[in-house]
Structure 1
Amino acid sequence: MKKKYHLLHVFSTFKTGGPQVRSCDIIQDLGEEYRHTIIAMDGNYEAKARIPENIMVDYVELSLPKSNANTFSIIFYLRDLLKKLKPDLLLTSNWGTIEWAMANSLRRICPQIHWEDGFGPEEIIRQKKRRIWTRRIFLPRCSFVVVPSRLLENIALNIWKLPANRLLYIPNGIEQSKFFLSDFSCKQHQIVGIVTALRKIKNIPRLVEAFSDLPCKESRLWIVGDGEERQNLERLVQEKNISSRVQFWGHQDDPSQIIRQMNVFALSSDSEQMPISVLEAMASGCAIVSTDVGDVKVMVCEENQDFIVPKEDKNLYCQKLQRLLEDKELCSFLGKKNQEKCAREYNKKQMLEIYKSLYHKAIEDDR
């Protein structure tokens, strides 16, 4: 019997988000040639619901040294765990798993692919020097480092000083058929929507405040997602006296049917890189209003780029939102152009084939 390659996926959390959704898609596509172990550093495995039960996945609960333990204690604990689990390939994601790169760099136990998808709120304005140097020292020892945006690629090359031959730009891709809408007449013209985890860095209050200032009182705001900011947002909606026009959908494993009803997808984040939710909205034929963060401006069609605005300009953000709600023809035109670009450039099948080849190369090159 042919050996199954063992992939160890490590996340700071396996709560549903962009990197977790992408990994679940890849796991489903890899087939029976691989078996998987997933570790969430915080013990949250919410995204496991996206993986079919027939796929062989083990979930490991960590017993990390106590919170006052030094970094070396954690590194040696993780190194021992790596030896015990014996993966053929270690897959790590973002700063929250950097100790795994450190543990695997001391006489490497297995090949490793590391993703950098973006930054937390503590690094929006300026990256921390300690983290820059840690990335400079340990990430070049990975087989490959993957980034989903050109902005991150530039940071990795020019700030972290990662070697170009180890750095790969692989844009996210989505399942077009799930979101594709051929007949835009079923869209409800007055619906603005957002699909995201409700965290501070997403700055949903910026969207709520802009929406509350709109003169068009027939419009509706749909907020799809959950998180620690939900109560604050519900309170803000009440304070703005717009509760009857705002709907909180909570977390949705499959938001496609909701997104397809939106005309305008409004992103209000302080920091992003290549948000999958924007791709899903583009595939659904939405016009996009967004703060100018990450690669969003180059993701959308050229005609939509005028609606990507500096995050400091709240008035302009509101004006762009208002214009799209008042101009149904423009909304539909931009939605169609976004849909065409998404189908052309952000295809899930193509992305999955790239990852299949990359995993195989990383494993075989290490033999």
Structure 2
Amino acid sequence: MSKGRHVCFLTGTLNAMAGAERMTAVIANALAESGHTVSILSLWDKESCFPLHPAVRHEALFAERPSFKKAYLATVAGIRRYCRDRKIDVLVQVDTMLALFALPATVGMGVEHIAWEHCHFDEDLGRRARRFARRLAARYCKHVVVLTERDRLRWEEALRPRSHVVAIPNPLPFPFPEEPAQRTSKTVLAMGRLVHAKGFDVLIQAWKRVAAEAPDWKLVIHGEGEERRALTKLIKELGLQEMVRLPGICLDATEAYRKASIFCLSSRYEGFGLVLVEAMAFGLPIVSTDCETGPRELLEAGENAVVVPTENPEALANGLLLVIQQPDEAAELGMASRRSAAGFETATIVAIWNAVAN
């Protein structure tokens, strides 16, 4: 990427503890650290959950989230004004849905567009407009960035895009740990938003059997979200209050990985599954569902993880008990997972972004 170009990341908000927002900050910071001119335009809320490099300029169109049906024209006009006044050369849409705003906002301005897809192609998150937005991105953006090679092939197969579709995985948001976790505690860690997609209800159901066979082990699920009340109720119904904890958002994820001995991903689907790479970097044995698209690309069953079907508490319990009850095999899986994570350091991934945005 030429350091004379101004790259702007267009996102909904940075004031949300979620993966796309976190990666926006990580990539923007890394590009700024390299000397590029970088800004972030949020549609609402000028605050950020994540630290930003001093050279990254962060602004917002609205103080609070508006109704975009009512504020559509104002949003388009605001994006156009921002790109004109800040002389934006490359606009990275941190969600293909943003093509619905960004493309009409910059007609005739010569702005180069990159659409960044954080979910897998066959999941529209309940919004039909997302399918239309993906078609717009595939036709009118210079690049579409997806997170896995599996998803890149799916885009090519389904849309035959004019855009260049490139797979760029999410990087580790922290330096690669010098040492793996010591794995001395009897703790299984899970991490993510407390939403249906993450399958924590399935994991808690699985833990009923795990607790019966390994009563000295604990499950810690870090995160926050709309399903907290339902998950808390399920824990109580299953009598697992002493074995399962929901401590909320983890402000220092690295410390949580260091304290754990096993990591479990119970998702129904994932665009990538950054928490897997983070846990793998600390050498934690992985027990994961075989869901699209990240886990299916990141994990090799029996080589660097135990992989089980989605929506299956019994299979998930079997996988967890296998790793708990066979410590030698668990240690081997952990070492293999750490080797697999070595290719996801920020410098490696940012080099690919440089080539795409050049």
**3-state DSSP class of the match of 1:114?**
strand
Q: Does the C-alpha gap of structure 1 residues 152 and 13 become closer, same or farther in structure 2, counting only changes over 3 Å?
A: farther
Give how far 1:207 is off: 1.0
**3-state DSSP class of the match of 2:62?**
coil
**3-state DSSP class of the match of 1:50?**
coil
Correspondence for 1:327: 326
Paired residue type of 2:192? T
**How many residues are matched?**
351
Gaps of 5+ in 2: none
Correspondence for 2:310: 311
Matched, 1:8 2:12: no
Correspondence for 1:365: none
- Within the candidate set 218, 221, 234, 2:219 is matched to 221
Percentage of pairs with the same residue: 20
Q: Does the C-alpha gap of structure 1 residues 131 and 121 become closer, same or farther in structure 2, counting only changes over 3 Å?
A: closer
Gaps of 5+ in 1: 362-367
Give how far 1:68 is off: 4.6
Give how far 1:66 is off: 5.3
Paired residue type of 2:42? A
**3-state DSSP class of the match of 1:233?**
helix
Give how far 1:87 is off: 1.5
Correspondence for 1:161: 160
Correspondence for 2:51: 50
Correspondence for 2:197: 201
Correspondence for 2:41: 39
Correspondence for 1:190: 186
State whether residues 180 and 283 of structure 1, in contact with CA within 8 Å, keep that contact through their aligned partners in structure 2. no
Q: TM-score, normalised by structure 2?
A: 0.86
Question: Which has the larger helix fraction?
Answer: 1
Q: Distance in 1 between matches of 2:121 and 2:201?
A: 18
Paired residue type of 2:45? G
Q: Distance in 2 between matches of 1:316 and 1:188?
A: 25
Q: Distance in 1 between matches of 2:338 and 2:344?
A: 10
Q: Does the C-alpha gap of structure 1 residues 199 and 65 become closer, same or farther in structure 2, counting only changes over 3 Å?
A: closer
State whether residues 105 and 141 of structure 1, in contact with CA within 8 Å, keep that contact through their aligned partners in structure 2. no
Q: Distance in 1 between matches of 2:143 and 2:353?
A: 12
**3-state DSSP class of the match of 2:242?**
helix
Deviates more, 1:10-19 or 1:144-153: 10-19
Q: Does the C-alpha gap of structure 1 residues 224 and 178 become closer, same or farther in structure 2, counting only changes over 3 Å?
A: farther
Q: TM-score, normalised by structure 1?
A: 0.84
Correspondence for 2:89: 88
Correspondence for 1:62: 62
Matches within 5 A, 1:1-367: 5-14=5-14, 15-30=16-31, 31=33, 33-43=35-45, 45-47=47-49, 49-52=50-53, 54-62=54-62, 67-69=68-70, 74-104=75-105, 106-118=107-119, 123=124, 128=128, 131-163=130-162, 166-174=164-172, 177-182=175-180, 186-214=182-210, 215-293=213-291, 294-301=293-300, 303-304=302-303, 307-343=306-342, 345-359=343-357, 361=358
